[in-house]
Amino acid sequence: MSAHSYARLFDVIVAGGGVSGCAAAVSAARCGASVLVLEQNGYLGGTLTACGVGPMMTFHAGEKQVIAGFMQELVDELAARGYSPGHVLDTKQYTDTLTPFDAEGLKLILDEKLEEAGVCVLLHTFIGGVSREGDRVSGVTISNKDGLQTLAAKVFIDATGDGDVAAWAGAPMTKGRELDGAAQPMTMKLKYAGVDAKKLRAHVLANLSRFPAMREHADLLERDIPMDLEGFAEEVAAAKAAGELSIARENLLMFETGRPGEIILNTTRVIDHDSTDAMSLSDAERIGRRQAGELDAFVRKCIPGFENALLEFTGPSIGVRGSRQLVGLYTLTAEDILSRKPFKTAIAHSGYPIDIHNPKGEGTESTFLAERGSYYSIPYEIMVCEEIANLLVTGRCVSATFEAQASVRLSPSAGAMGQAAGAAAAQACAADGDVRAADVASLRDTLRAQSAYLD
């Protein structure tokens, strides 16, 4: 594609190429819309490829698969090409299953899926401004190697995670928890190669009394499935007492990726920073890397199996769990999740618990749906606001309270919401572009035809 040939009127512009943006783009294109994705990184996948996050959690509620559609297509393709073992039992049984994957495989497959669907993708492109006329977004201003330009579309989908487009268009937004505006901590991931995972497992199995999170389902550690492992609290406490670790987390959380010897460490914790404030985000990256440096020295010295491991990379970017949320036609609450409130306008489901990493320090608070194997519904109205006719917001910045966002933000549900946003955008383009007036019954039919799970 020659320079500037993307500067034409698209039906749908998707801001952000994370899983929700990619799902939205493919879904809209498959419904017949012309689609442009704008992404600041040089690759797709967002948090899953740019922040070292994995595994995807969770497609299931008990034995029932409650997220399918585009996200399952990705898993099928990853598995078929050896980039994922598919859905496996969670060795910690925090969730029923988790889905390890190779981030390089995901980048490649997302490129292919968007290309096959005929989506135009513009990488290395940052959206820095939004223009609005009346109750419509009229354009987004981008910056890339072609300079500055403003692009127009009939419908815009904000899949930036931070809700950049919605916020700059003047949509009502909240940030952080109601109490004090604090967000969940950001985390700089570490990805290791060459971990002696056999030795690590053997150590855990031989010392189960010191691994309370792993005790109940220790038999799973003896099976040949990638590990979800939490523990080493005593070692962490000792390192903190010795002044070797300054991370506001009380133990280590790690995941095998499915590649032999590769492990992701989800343990650094940058608190009191804001990903929507440029300087604060910049500081968070540096603090995250400093914590990663401490952690690297610590695990190689203290954790069996890591002695000769190699830190492949940090990040590349710090991971953001939450920032701005849209104030939509409906705001999903913890009560809706825990009571499994039925919605006639459900466009996706999830069985993931409410999982809050303490915004102010150590500790993680998890609230599970009362019955193991149960799941909740996600209504269409959390992606739409009263004030703007042609804007959908999807992924982790949908309209949800701080607590509810701590569940819907996970990648399978972010992708499932994205798929719905894409189909809704295409539907609106075929009418007058007003997403507030969506025929959700017809949208649900379209999603079912796209193999999404809706009960």
Q: SS3 letters for the chain?
A: CCCCCCCCCEEEEEECCEHHHHHHHHHHHHCCCCEEEECCCCCCECHHHHCCCCCECCCEECCEECCCHHHHHHHHHHHHCCCCCCCEECCCCCCCEEECCCHHHHHHHHHHHHHHCCCEEECCCEEEEEEEECCEEEEEEEEECCEEEEECEEEEEECCCCCHHHHHCCCCEEECCCCCCCCCCEECCEEEECCCHHHHHHHHHHCHHHCHHHHCCHHHHCCCCCCEEEECHHHHHHHHHCCCCCCCCCCEEEEECCCCCCEEECCCCECCCCCCCHHHHHHHHHHHHHHHHHHHHHHHHHCCCCCCCEEEEECCCCECCCCEEECCCCCECHHHHHCCCCCCCEEEEECCCEEEECCCCCCEEEECCCCCCCCEEEEHHHHCCCCCCCEEECHHHCCECHHHHHHHCCHHHHHHHHHHHHHHHHHHHHCCCCHHHCCHHHHHHHHHHCCCCCC
Min CB(75)–ligand FAD separation in Å: 12
Among 11, 73, 102, 164, binds ligand FAD (CB under 6 A): 164
Contact pattern for ligand FAD over residues 401 through 440, marking x by CB under 6 A: --------xxxx-x--------------------------
With respect to ligand FAD, which residue has the nearer C-beta, 39 or 230? 39
398 belongs to the binding site for ligand FAD (CB under 6 A):
no
Min CB(206)–ligand FAD separation in Å: 27
Among 100, 353, 395, 422, binds ligand FAD (CB under 6 A): 395
315 belongs to the binding site for ligand FAD (CB under 6 A):
no
21 belongs to the binding site for ligand FAD (CB under 6 A):
yes
Among 321, 324, 436, 444, binds ligand FAD (CB under 6 A): 321
How many chain residues are in contact with ligand FAD, going by CB under 6 A?
38
Among 27, 187, 345, 419, binds ligand FAD (CB under 6 A): 187
Contact pattern for ligand FAD over residues 121 through 150, marking x by CB under 6 A: -----xx-----------------------
With respect to ligand FAD, which residue has the nearer C-beta, 34 or 184? 184
65 belongs to the binding site for ligand FAD (CB under 6 A):
no
Among 6, 11, 12, 17, binds ligand FAD (CB under 6 A): 17
Among 25, 35, 37, 57, binds ligand FAD (CB under 6 A): 57
Among 12, 14, 19, 404, binds ligand FAD (CB under 6 A): 19
269 belongs to the binding site for ligand FAD (CB under 6 A):
no
225 belongs to the binding site for ligand FAD (CB under 6 A):
no
91 belongs to the binding site for ligand FAD (CB under 6 A):
no
With respect to ligand FAD, which residue has the nearer C-beta, 101 or 232? 101
Q: CA torsion, points 302, 308, 312, 315, in degrees to nearest 10?
A: 0
With respect to ligand FAD, which residue has the nearer C-beta, 276 or 345? 276
Give the footprint of ligand FAD on this chain (CB under 6 A): 16-21, 38-41, 46-48, 50-51, 53, 55-57, 126-127, 159-162, 164, 187, 266, 319-321, 395-396, 409-412, 414
